[in-house]
Structure 1
Amino acid sequence: MHIDHLPTPALLLDEARLRRNIARLDERLRALGVNLRPHCKTCKSMDAARLCMASPQGPITVSSLAEAEYFAEHGVTDICYAVGVAPAKLARGMILRERGVRLSLLLDSTENARLLAAFAGKHGHVFDLLLEIDCDGHRSGLRPDDPELLECAAVLTRAGQNLLGVLTHAGSAYDLAAPSPEAFAALAKQERDAAVSAAQRLRAAGHGCPVVSVGSTPTAFFGRDFTGVSEVRAGVYMFQDLVMAGLGVCRVEDIALSVLCTVIGRRKSDGNLVVDAGWTALSRDAGLPGRFAREGYGLVCDVDGKLLPGLRVAETNQEHGIIAAREGMCPPLPVGAQLRILPTHACAAAAAFDAYHVCREREVTALWPRCRGW
């Protein structure tokens, strides 16, 4: 099949670019002597995950139990669920573990630790657990010097639970005001130092703490020293997107994911193109601050994937996308013409689809299903 025959909107995945992106990070981390635990929240596909896992059993990272269940069904047994676990989800996690999956769960408070300990005691189950560390004030987690870090560990240890170590994520890497290799390297050092410091405190208090897990795609690419770290997590690096290109992590030409759409008209008021990919296919993620005027909700390529300079998706309704030129008028493309949209945020765009149409140029070579849900 050729992409010309696909119903639109459709999610396209350039396999050659995907493989190059995966190889680039693999080679870098191997040279630095640290293991990769790929984050599969972006791909949500066993076919894609096989290309980046160290073995058929993993390891991988996930952001939902639906992902963990999906990958477990395909034989993956080493899974880190890297979102703070809600008490109501413990039963699902226990079922996976009883099936032989080494599922590790994440906590960041004594309240959650006590709730998990009570559930584990009631069911006679021992969980593998990580404590989340806040390395940059971006989201959740405990500061490395927070007294509650040792309190959490003590609660879990007294309850007979298996505390594996610590996990952190430099989420602020995605919104640095002045991104540069030096800025990312400094943030990677801050990320590493926070996790290693927390692990040292736990070890000094008698906890083994073999796992020191860090990661974001920018810090994975620009970190210079991972001493004391047992693994790096990254996910969007497989596909890349306009946010990563805007940060200097990749080139626009490295973006492996695109949304195929069809021109369905021209807006009478300004001549802008109307396509059949709205926010349900592209998302409304505006990407990096200050870049919307240039990139909008996605940059526009022709059907062969060649960038059409100056065109962007300027507006989205539910099923309509409006393509505008930064200067002048849009080219007079006929109704029925196909275009590819490079996504601002690959994770958000891919979430709208059930499968990837894997392609080489215009040829569709495979259909890779994706899992969805929580």
Structure 2
Amino acid sequence: MTSLTLVETPALVLDRGVLERNCDRMARRMTDAGVRLRPHLKTAKSARVAEVATRGHFGGITVSTLAEARYFLEQGISDLTYAVGLAAGKLDVVARLQAEGARMKLLTDSLDTLVAAEGKADELDADFSFLIEVDTGGLRGGVPPESGVLLELGRYLHESPRLALAGVLTHAGHSYHCHSPAEIEQVAEDERAGAVRAAQRLRDAGLPCEIVSAGSTPTAIRAKSLEGVTEMRPGVYTFFDLDQMALGVCAIEDIALSVVATVIGHNHAAGRILIDAGGLALSKDLSAAEFLEDAGYGLVCPLDATRPLEGVYVDSVHQEHGLIAAKDGPPPYDKLPVGTRVRILPNHACMTAAAYNSYHVVEDGLEVVDTWDRINGWY
């Protein structure tokens, strides 16, 4: 074992105690609501995190890449929802994963995709199960709950000899832009009601709709009712971040992820402190800026704590350089001499973690108690 004082920087740090607390809280909430928890592992991309996140539930997960699907299958997790609209050319990989034991649900909102998928299914001698993506306000992918296309897709899947209709899926990504708990609650209800309505329309048309899948972290936490929903797919709740804190979804002590960086210079002329973590190490995501002033590319904490130094933040980034500024006046050069290590709380945990191959796992201290791997890439 080693210490955060000795790891090479920049380094990705995960607090196991905070992670477990976050996951236990969500698991209890979904159990109390009578809803299956299918955590979205696109944030963590780690089998060790999956073990914690699926504890007490049925063990299925959500993935966003086929690389994740293969990785988790190799780690013994076979119930997988691939929650990105399918490109039919990827069915060769899906068929191989299914032949190796994966039970996969695929996603579409396109009849053209289904026609192409049926051709690939015949070519590959494979069967594929689909969820119809429903748009409940996010305006990304999906068909509206009242759309005639919904029934058209459902009928095509139901009548196909190689394709199957598993249910409907929606994602309230627009909850990330709400400015009050009441707004999130309304988005959560729109998400629930839209997915349930789509499912009911399919059933009324004589079509099967077993799965009604919804979920973002804000709506999973703030929803007043989940009646009619069979599963929820939150993801970033495992780690949380400044964006979720700014939304009022979590407290700062719930943020499990941070980046350790080293002070490499003082630029008095510019009024900045340089660190060795830039745009690649922290990401260039500025999502928290919608709600927080002077969050920049992350808040700066002492190495031994995750409570930020007051008014101190990463003001700008280059590829491998970050520049620390202070809200009022020059940054604290005396508190952060060259060689000092700091921890940066990220705006968006999913984006920040994407640059790293592993987590340095700690438990309320500087001692690294374990190293957990993660999967990156697309195939």
Q: Same fold (TM over 0.5)?
A: yes
Shift of 1:162: 1.6
Q: In the comparison of the two structures, how many residue pairs are matched?
A: 372
Q: Match of 2:372?
A: 368
* Aligned counterparts of 2:377 and 2:58: Cα–Cα separation in 1: 22
**DSSP 3-state at the match of 1:307:** coil
CA contact (8 A) 2:289 2:296 kept: no
* Aligned counterparts of 1:319 and 1:303: Cα–Cα separation in 2: 20
CA contact (8 A) 1:242 1:345 kept: yes
**DSSP 3-state at the match of 2:311:** strand
Q: Note the alpha carbon deviations across 1:311-363, whole angstroms, 9 max, x for none.
A: 01000000000000001111122111000000000000000100000012100
Q: Where in structure 1 do 4 or more consecutive aligned residues deviate above 3 Å?
A: 54-57, 288-293
Q: Is 131-140 or 49-58 further displaced after alignment? A: 49-58
Q: Is 210-219 or 156-165 further displaced after alignment? A: 156-165
Q: Match of 1:266?
A: 266
Distance verdict in 2 for CA 1:368–1:203, change over 3 Å: same
Q: Match of 2:140?
A: 139
Letter aligned with residue 188 of structure 2: A
Instruction: Determine whether 1:211 maps to 2:172.
Output: no
* Aligned counterparts of 1:308 and 1:337: Cα–Cα separation in 2: 14
**DSSP 3-state at the match of 1:308:** coil
Q: Note the alpha carbon deviations across 1:3-47, whole angstroms, 9 max, x for none.
A: 100010000001111111111111112112111100000000001
Q: Note the alpha carbon deviations across 1:70-103, whole angstroms, 9 max, x for none.
A: 0000110100000001111111011111112111
State the TM-score, normalized to the length of structure 2. 0.96
**DSSP 3-state at the match of 1:8:** coil
**DSSP 3-state at the match of 2:294:** helix
Q: Note the alpha carbon deviations across 1:218-237, whole angstroms, 9 max, x for none.
A: 00000011111100010000
Distance verdict in 2 for CA 1:57–1:210, change over 3 Å: closer
* Aligned counterparts of 2:290 and 2:173: Cα–Cα separation in 1: 19
CA contact (8 A) 2:27 2:56 kept: no
* Aligned counterparts of 1:295 and 1:198: Cα–Cα separation in 2: 39
**DSSP 3-state at the match of 2:271:** coil
Letter aligned with residue 24 of structure 1: R
Q: Match of 1:328?
A: 329
Distance verdict in 2 for CA 1:121–1:156, change over 3 Å: farther
Shift of 1:119: 1.1
Q: Note the alpha carbon deviations across 1:278-303, whole angstroms, 9 max, x for none.
A: 00100000114544642001001001
Q: Is 198-207 or 41-50 further displaced after alignment? A: 198-207
Q: Match of 2:7?
A: 6
Letter aligned with residue 353 of structure 2: A
Q: Cα RMSD between the aligned structures?
A: 1.3
* Aligned counterparts of 2:345 and 2:111: Cα–Cα separation in 1: 43
Letter aligned with residue 170 of structure 1: A
**DSSP 3-state at the match of 1:294:** coil
Q: Match of 2:112?
A: 111
Q: Match of 1:167?
A: 169
Alignment identity in percent?
45
Q: Match of 1:52?
A: 53
* Aligned counterparts of 2:304 and 2:183: Cα–Cα separation in 1: 35
Q: Match of 1:356?
A: 359
State the TM-score, normalized to the length of structure 1. 0.97
Superposition pairs of residues 177-326 of structure 1, within 5 angstroms: 178-180=179-181, 182-291=182-291, 293-305=293-305, 306-326=307-327
